[in-house]
Amino acid sequence: MYVVETNNLVKKFGQLTAVNRISLKINEGEIFGLLGPNGAGKTTTLSMLATLQKPTSGNAFVGGHSIITEPLKVRKSIGMVFQEPSSDDELTGKDNLYLHALLYGVPKHLISGRIKEALELVDLTNRQNEMVRRYSGGMRRRLELARGLLHEPKILFLDEPTLGLDPQTRVHIWTYIKKLVKERKVTIIVTTHYMEEADELCDRVAIVDRGRIVALDAPAKLKRALGGDVIRLKVSNPNMAALKKLKFVKRIKKDGDFISLSVNDSGTHLQEILKKAGKVESVESRSPTLDDVFLHYTGREIRDTEAEGGWFERMIASRSR
């Protein structure tokens, strides 16, 4: 039995379909990622799995329990860390954990030990008696990871766990997440729009766009399936027709003065590409990334959709005018 399984999960807001027939099977002890831009449907999917929103149709089983008919049993088996900080600024870190333990019905004789273990896991023992308002962003995220573990859930949902953090703190949070899986045997489902986060953390990734899963596999397999390398050229007046005729060019995209090409054996063919392209000002060659995978399946890059502000948010905005 899978620890999380969704069957054609759909969520509509009026005429807008935020989640469109998503089906997933997630294994115990897995770090599973939902990767996509803002507005792709990631958080809405997580909210349904956590029983915070009811699906329009379809069903899901979390820890063996239906999100529709057994929501209380689902909630007892999960922990959740939201995008926005939800700890109390006017309490200490330790008091926040104590309050959460009471709310989740942790037996009183176990609370002290659970808090001690959780604080040690996220390296906050020495700061437990400080007010949370004095915590840095990274410390708050670590506190909320600890809080989500107090009732010993089988599954932990992390919604954009490193959003707004600096790169160094983000790497530290990844370390704690991996530590959770190793030491607590927790299954983690994480949403993110950071490609490097999905690449570094996740055993498997579902790439989500406009409410649908467009690709699903281990990050390395998704990138390997594209084949070849990515060459990015800055070219004045590029000869697109000539480049498209090259048999070894698998995909090509123009963005202003820049051209991105997916090429088999770039080292062998680079000189020919440079001759055909036009007046080349700069050249970059690299291995495929998850953004290239997203581009392959959707026709645009994740960063492009971020700049647009997210499909779902745009649709909501258009309805409110």
Residues 204 and 247 in one domain: no
Residues present in the chain in total: 321
In angstroms, how far is the first alpha carbon of the chain from the final one?
47
Domain hosting 167: range is 4-222
CATH number of domain containing 290? 3.30.70
Residue 79 lies in a domain: yes
Last residue of a domain, one of 222, 239, 266: 222
Pair (124, 271) in one structural domain: no
What mean pLDDT, rounded, does the chain reach? 89
Helix residue ranges per DSSP H, the chain: 42-49, 71-77, 93-103, 108-121, 137-149, 167-184, 195-201, 219-226, 240-244, 266-277, 290-298, 302-308, 311-320
Neighbours of 58 (CB within 10 A): 18
Q: How far apart are CA 219 and CA 201, in angstroms?
A: 10
In a domain, 321, yes or no: no
Number of domains in the chain: 2
Residues 111 and 89 in one domain: yes
- 188 touches 158 (CB < 8 A): yes
313 band by pLDDT with thresholds 50, 70 and 90? very low
Can you name the residues that pair with 13 across neighbouring β-strands?
16
Q: Where are the alpha helices (DSSP H) in 67-211?
A: 71-77, 93-103, 108-121, 137-149, 167-184, 195-201
Same domain? For 212 and 229 the reply is no
Tell me, yes or no, whether 260 and 127 share the same domain. no
DSSP 8-state symbol, 134: G
Q: Could you tell me if 231 and 185 lie in one domain?
A: no
Q: Is the pLDDT of residue 170 over 50?
A: yes
pTM comes to 0.84
């831009």: which residue's tokens? 37
Q: For residues 214 and 241, state if they share a domain.
A: no
Return the pLDDT at 251.
81
3-state secondary structure of 10: strand
**Is there a single domain that holds both residue 49 and residue 9?**
yes
Mean pLDDT, residues 41-45 taken together:
95
Which of 28-32, 246-250, 262-266, 273-277 shows the lowest per-residue confidence on average (mean pLDDT)? Answer: 262-266
- Report which secondary-structure segment, H or E, holds 62: strand 57-62
pLDDT in the model for residue 307: 41
Q: What's the average model confidence in pLDDT over 73-97? A: 92
Label residue 320 by pLDDT band (50, 70, 90): very low
